[in-house]
């Protein structure tokens, strides 16, 4: 069931989204060679709790940390660890959720660690661009397929591939709500976007094949061919004035 939010509910989602976005930026400030993924997680948890919110991911389905921190060929759901140290040239994906006054924000971003390769820079740039290609088609009356088509077309045009096994989703009182929002699809098809819908659009883009696999830890997802992967996500509200980014902060 798709839950349409009223103005009061959207106000709470803006608050949760702001905390989520700020937590990612706070984590980004400490990313450098020598930092562990556990330190990134601790920074995020401290910030979210300081704001009076709860880390959505902590304990979600048994997840043991406050953020997913995924490095290089890890696509999503990386478990932070004191043993995982960032090195010059790595790229690190940070996926965060904050629960505040009954609602969730959900956002992700990929950061470079020091100087990275030209190909890695292009991957991060194209992934973010593909999100904004999708944002450009989001409006009342559009279709879910329009979103996926916009993402996939831009990614393919740049020689990369979108992950198909994992998709975006509705977001609100629950972290994952209907509808699913794939990063591929046919324009003009799928669920119609309505005012009051809140969705998380999250391109996951691989340099190589779109095929992925899950590690025995039950969480970490990696590219099957070992190629680099990037991730970019915002929570979005469909309003009468167009899409509103709930998790974007400057």
pLDDT in tens, 24-74: 999 999 999 999 999 999 999 999 999 999 999 999 999 999 999 999 999
Query: Rounded to whole angstroms, how far apart are CA atoms 85 and 65?
Result: 16
Is pTM, for the whole model, over 0.85? yes
Q: What is the CATH number of the domain that holds 218?
A: 3.90.230.10
Residue pair 187/143 in contact (Cβ under 8 Å)? The answer is: yes
Q: Is residue 32 part of a domain?
A: yes
Q: Is residue 250 part of a domain?
A: no
Domain housing 166: 7-245
- Section 173-197 average pLDDT: 98
Q: Is residue 62 part of a domain?
A: yes
Q: Is residue 160 part of a domain?
A: yes
pLDDT digits (tens, 9 = 90+) for 72-119: 999 999 999 999 999 999 999 999 999 999 999 999 999 999 999 999
Q: Is residue 30 part of a domain?
A: yes
Phi and psi, residue 4, nearest 5°: -85, 135
Q: Is residue 177 part of a domain?
A: yes
- Section 239-245 average pLDDT: 96
Residue pair 234/247 in contact (Cβ under 8 Å)? The answer is: yes
The pLDDT of residue 250 is 75
Strand order in the sheet with 74-76: 74-76, 221-223, 212-214
How many domains are contained in the chain?
Answer: 1
Q: Is residue 151 part of a domain?
A: yes
Q: Is residue 1 part of a domain?
A: no
State the sign of the Cα–Cα–Cα–Cα dihedral 147, 234, 167, 109.
positive
């Amino acid at each position: 069931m798709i839950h349409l939010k009223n103005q009061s509910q959207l106000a709470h989602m803006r608050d949760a989204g702001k905390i989520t976005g700020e937590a990612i930026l706070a984590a980004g400030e400490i990313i450098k060679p020598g930092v562990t993924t556990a330190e990134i997680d601790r920074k995020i948890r401290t910030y979210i709790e300081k704001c009076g919110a709860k880390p959505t991911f902590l304990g979600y389905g048994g997840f043991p940390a406050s953020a997913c921190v995924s490095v290089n060929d890890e696509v999503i759901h990386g478990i932070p660890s004191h043993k995982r140290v960032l090195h010059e040239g790595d790229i690190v994906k940070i996926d965060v959720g904050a629960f505040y006054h009954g609602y969730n924000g959900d956002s992700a971003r990929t950061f470079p660690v020091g100087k990275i390769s030209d190909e890695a820079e292009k991957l991060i740039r194209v992934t973010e661009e593909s999100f904004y290609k999708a944002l450009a088609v989001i409006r009342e009356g559009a279709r879910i397929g329009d979103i996926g088509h916009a993402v996939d077309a831009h990614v393919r045009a740049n020689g990369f591939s979108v992950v198909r096994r994992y998709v975006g989703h509705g977001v609100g009182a629950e972290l994952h709500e209907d509808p699913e929002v794939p990063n591929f699809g046919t324009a003009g098809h799928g669920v119609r976007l309505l005012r009051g819908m809140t969705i998380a659009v999250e391109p996951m883009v691989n340099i190589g094949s779109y095929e992925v696999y899950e590690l025995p830890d039950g969480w970490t997802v990696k590219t099957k061919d070992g190629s680099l992967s990037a991730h970019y996500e915002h929570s979005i509200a469909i309003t009468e004035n167009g899409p509103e980014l709930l998790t974007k902060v400057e």
